[in-house]
Amino acid sequence: MGKLITDEIRSWIGRADEPIRLEVSRRDIVKYSLATEQLNEKYLRGDEAPPMFLFGTDRALTPIDELGPDGLRRDPLLPDLPLKRVMAGGVKQRHLLPIVPGDVLLIRRSITDIYDKQGSSGALIFIVYDVSVTNANDALVMQQTQSRIIR
């Protein structure tokens, strides 16, 4: 292997999206908690956000007419690769501080690794992203590692 990852592709390691600023409201927490059938009263009252509240917030909002035929938007933090089918890989999260109403969060996503390997069905490329969420005091609220598999 190794021939799929060119120097141009490797140069994407370290690139980052523009940070996303998120103001958390009690209403947002309550809506999310109701939609995901949370049972804990602190979530249903909107006193604190459930652990998965931030899932997907590292993605920009995209109008429907800008989505591809697969329903996905073109990810600006994905290099042009020789393989084209993008699939979700793993996600690891560490929650360090609770998310509460009034929090102003800054969400940053960057590429930390790109590698390839041979799978049972052929060549695979892995893109590894770091997503960090900090609050207004620059304290780390959540750390996430995401991977995408391209085949």
Token pair listed for 75:
């990810």
Residue 1 maps to a domain: no
Determine the pLDDT at residue 72: 74
Residue 42 maps to a domain: yes
pLDDT tens for each residue of the chain, 151 residues long? 458 999 999 999 999 999 999 999 999 999 999 999 999 999 999 999 998 898 877 677 788 888 877 777 778 889 999 998 888 899 999 999 999 999 999 999 999 999 999 888 899 999 999 999 999 999 999 999 999 999 9
Which range of residues forms the domain containing residue 106? 7-150
Determine the pLDDT at residue 117: 92
Token pair listed for 16:
């980052």
The CATH number covering residue 130 comes to: 3.10.129.10
Say how many domains are in the chain: 1
Q: Please work out, in degrees rounded to the nearest 5, the angle formed at the alpha carbon of residue 79 by the alpha carbons of 76 and 83.
A: 125
Helix (H) or strand (E) holding 42: helix 41-44
Token pair listed for 77:
């933090």
Token pair listed for 146:
């995401």
Residue 2 maps to a domain: no
